[in-house]
């Protein structure tokens, strides 16, 4: 949908960005309790010989079995949420007036209430499919992941703002710049935004 591109632009503009995809990778590193819980729930087959998580194997299991996906979410989501909330608190204490947390499953995890504003970064379904195919995703992988999330139309309805990523980079940047310059995002307002795809 364009969330990483949007987050990178906001960071270049000096906005503090917390990316939950990065947090999700950190909480399953070797030695982290979540990795041990995942091994216990899914078996040694999801752990590589070097002790790291075999993401592809775990994804194959959880995106073809709803109960397995729910089990994984029960392990990961509370830990991820605790980390991004801690980082937001630290940013507030450091005096950051504006912060953005990128949460692909913002509404699915019922996290929208933690933010002053929610932004849905979106594009049309054909554009999304094209972008994912370029990344090497199969049609099954795309279908399974989309089925595990709210439809983008629903996310757009739930969000306070929508950033449309169909145009060129300049159009995306102009939309984001207008948002961060809106009243309420000025210095000292401690404005938090959640970004969802």
**What is the pLDDT confidence band of residue 191, given thresholds at 50, 70 and 90?**
low
Task: Give the position of tokens 């960005």.
Answer: 17
Model pLDDT, residue 125: 86
- Distance between terminal CA atoms of the chain? 6
Per-residue pLDDT reduced to its tens digit, 22-40 = 999 999 999 999 999 999 9
Model pLDDT, residue 183: 45
Q: What is the DSSP string of 95-155?
A: T-SEEEEE-TTTTTTT-GGG-SEEEEEE--HHHHHHHHHHTT--HHHHHHHHHTS--HHHH
Per-residue pLDDT reduced to its tens digit, 57-101 = 999 899 889 999 999 999 999 999 999 999 999 999 998 888 999
Output DSSP code: residue 95. T
* Choice among 10-14, 172-176, 181-185 with the minimum mean pLDDT: 181-185
Query: Are residues 123 and 164 in contact, defined by beta-carbon separation less than 8 angstroms?
Result: yes
CATH architecture of structural domain 3-196: 3-Layer(aba) Sandwich (3.40)
Model pLDDT, residue 192: 58
The half-sphere exposure of 1 on its side-chain side, counting CA atoms within 13 A, is 21
Residue 187 scores a pLDDT above 50: no
Distance separating alpha carbons of residues 88 and 116, to the nearest angstrom: 13
Residue partners of 183: CB distance under 8 A and separation at least 6:
none
**What is the pLDDT confidence band of residue 128, given thresholds at 50, 70 and 90?**
confident
Map out the domains of the chain as residue ranges: 3-196
């Amino acid at each position: 949908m364009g969330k990483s591109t949007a987050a990178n632009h906001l960071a270049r503009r000096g906005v503090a960005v917390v990316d939950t995809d990065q947090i999700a990778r950190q909480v399953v590193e070797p030695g982290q309790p979540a990795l041990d819980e995942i091994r216990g729930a899914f078996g040694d087959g999801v752990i590589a010989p070097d002790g790291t998580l075999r993401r592809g194997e775990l994804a194959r299991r959880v995106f073809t079995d709803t109960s397995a996906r729910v089990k994984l979410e029960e392990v990961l989501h509370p830990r991820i949420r605790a980390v991004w909330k801690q980082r937001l608190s630290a940013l507030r204490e450091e005096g950051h007036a504006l912060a953005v947390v990128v949460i692909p499953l913002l509404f699915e995890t019922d996290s929208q209430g933690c933010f002053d504003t929610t932004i849905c970064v979106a594009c049309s379904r054909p554009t999304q499919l094209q972008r994912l195919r370029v990344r090497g995703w199969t049609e099954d992988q795309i279908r399974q992941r989309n089925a595990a999330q709210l439809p983008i139309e629903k996310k757009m309805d739930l969000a306070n703002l929508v950033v449309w990523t169909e145009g060129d980079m300049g159009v995306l940047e102009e939309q984001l710049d207008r948002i961060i310059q809106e009243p309420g995002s000025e210095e000292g307002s401690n404005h938090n935004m959640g970004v969802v795809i």
